Amino acid sequence: MKKAQVIIDREYLIGEVDKRLYGSFIEHLGRAVYEGIYQPDSPFADESGFRKDVLELVKELQVPIIRYPGGNFVSGYNWEDGVGPKENRPVRTELAWSVIETNQFGLNEFADWCKLAGSEIMMAVNLGTRGIEEAKNLLEYCNFKGGTKYSDLRRSHGYEKPHNIKVWCLGNEMDGDWQIGHKTAKEYARLANETGKVMKMLDPNIELVACGSSGSHMPTFGSWEATLLDECYDTVDYISMHQYYGNRDRDSANFLACSVDLDQFIRNVVAVCDYIKGKKHSKKNIHISLDEWNVWYHSMETDERPERWVQHPHQIEDIYNLEDALLVGSMLITMLRHADRVKIGCLAQLVNVIAPIMTSDTGVWKQTIYYPYLHCSLYGQGSVLNTIVKSPIYEAKEHGEAPYLDCVAVTNAEREELVIFAVNKDLQEDMEVTIDLRQYSDYGIKEHIVLHDQDLKAVNTQEDPNRVVPKKNGCSSVSDGILTAVMKSKSWNVIRLSPN
């Protein structure tokens, strides 16, 4: 059995976890909205057409913030199409995903739904086909109290009180040539800055996210961020990162090492932010909004030749296995390890489309990735400890040296809890992990949750929804202030400790 050692100290803090780290994303794409959160003709729908069974799971996940309405979709979207009486809303060709959009669901429905889900809205404006004027009008519609054209339009639609949306994304993936209205870094930087300036003139309380790179692989990565921040540094609060991984080469060890890549990606973005900070002699920090992240590759082949111009087809519906859940766990650990700079995270997406929650006409089920996301959302609140991990390493084909053990500790003074999140990526061996609890030596184990299966490729389906589910059967104990845990090969672990 391999051995690893973890070192923590109450005083060595990385930073507070922003609860928005565990956000998610709903795009008008595939069956995320229609048949996902909204399906008026379903027996599971409430009087507003919202799927009650889906809402239950979203509430269980305690999703703090949800990005909407895209994604690629937003770059061709007219928000006005989705408000007001439903019978007057236009049916449109939707070019990002080559489908028909009926607009029967729009921002007011989303605001109602978010209220029920207990989530905040993170709204994206269209900087693909549109610009300053529309972004300003949308903000006025959403956040202005009344007595003006767009705030009164909202009131006339039955929403007397403003939605008060705090976080706004200035477009989506503008660096990608697939994006409607794709721009060069300079073109986007100017537009984002001018749009952001006007939006903050109207509502200085909002926070703005500028589009960073669509992935670490983008050829413009690095220079895109520098050009953008050179222009927008004073106007925006966050820069976005998007990152999806896949195991196309069927090399699981390499796939599980993708968290090393994410870690480097975050470090690089922080470095560019701080370079511009120094250059501008600024006192302000730009933080990171990792507002699209997940595993995405299973569905790509099927999606290559989609049927065009149909309504909400099955699109991008990855079915996740255990190894995907392990990587999602490792990505969450990586985000937590950068909690001082990564403030917002959006697991992309929430329902049906590369999602932890799946629906059919007869019910819902939880994919494997649901569980690490749930555990971090519920137990990963508080302060992240600078967690030193002394783990054996392996050589991953693309990512170089990777530790077998990914681990982070989060402490919560209010709840009097210390929580250890860990992934053992070893595909063969269990691992003995020891942690000197130091100032937590009087803490005992409340539970040790494990997500594991002998088969890395095991999945949950509607027929067999409980194939890969967490069990409270982890093997760990505390003796003389030392926590010793045996972490199964290929497992996600959550160890919750509190004072004896």
Positions touching ligand AHR (CB under 6 A) are: 27, 29, 70-72, 172-173, 292, 348-349
CB of 477 to ligand AHR, least distance (A): 42
Find, among 325, 225, 340, 214, the residue nearest to 275 by Cα: 225
Closer CB to ligand AHR, residue 241 or residue 431?
241
Q: Which is nearer to ligand AHR, 185 or 468 (CB)?
A: 185
CB of 72 to ligand AHR, least distance (A): 4
| Closest distance of CB 354 from ligand AHR, Å | 6
173 a catalytic residue? yes
**Minimum distance, C-beta of residue 349 to ligand AHR, in the bound complex (Å):** 6
Beta bridge partners of 125: 170
Which residue is closest to ligand AHR by CB? 71
Would you say 172 and 74 are in contact if contact means Cβ atoms under 8 Å apart? yes
C-beta of 91: minimal distance to ligand AHR in Å?
21
- Which of 109, 173, 225, 323 is catalytic? The answer is 173
Q: Which is nearer to ligand AHR, 17 or 61 (CB)?
A: 61
**Minimum CB distance to ligand AHR smaller for 349 or for 489:** 349
Q: CA 35 to CA 53: how far, in whole Å?
A: 12
Q: Report the alpha-carbon distance of residue 212 to residue 332 in Å, rounded.
A: 20
Shortest approach of ligand AHR to residue 139 CB, angstroms?
21
Q: Which is nearer to ligand AHR, 72 or 411 (CB)?
A: 72
Cα–Cα distance, 177 to 281 (Å, whole number): 33
Which among 140, 292, 323, 417 is annotated as catalytic? 292
Q: Please, which residue, 96 or 270, has the CB nearer to ligand AHR? A: 96
Give the shortest CB-481-to-ligand AHR separation in angstroms.
45
Of 359 and 424, nearer to ligand AHR (C-beta) is: 359
The least distance separating ligand AHR from the CB of residue 429, rounded to whole angstroms, comes to 35
292 is catalytic: yes
3-state secondary structure the chain: CEEEEEECCCCCEEEECCHHHHEEECCCCCCCCECCCECCCCCCECCCCEEHHHHHHHHHHCCCEEEECCCHHHHHCCHHHHCCCHHHCCCEEECCCCEEECCCCCHHHHHHHHHHHCCEEEEEECCCCCCHHHHHHHHHHHHCCCCCHHHHHHHHCCCCCCCCCCEEEECCCCCCCCCCCCCCHHHHHHHHHHHHHHHHHHCCCCEEEECCCCCCCCCCCCHHHHHHHHHHCCCCCEEEEEEEECCCCCCHHHHHCHHHHHHHHHHHHHHHHHHHHHHCCCCCCCEEEEEEEEECCCCCCHHHCCCCCCECCCCCCCCCEHHHHHHHHHHHHHHHHCCCCEEEEEECCCECCCCCEEEECCEEEECCCHHHHHHHHHHCCCEEECCEEECCEEEECCCEEEECEEEEEEEECCCCEEEEEEEECCCCCCEEEEEECHHHCCEEEEEEEEEECCCCCCECCCCCCCCCCCECCCEEEEECCEEEEEECCCEEEEEEEEEC
Of 272 and 346, the one with the shorter C-beta distance to ligand AHR is 346
Cβ 217 to ligand AHR, closest distance in Å? Answer: 12
Nearer to ligand AHR, 312 or 452 (CB): 312
Can you give the length of the chain in residues? 500
Q: Are strands 383-385 and 405-412 parallel, antiparallel or unpaired?
A: antiparallel
Residues carrying an active site annotation:
173, 292
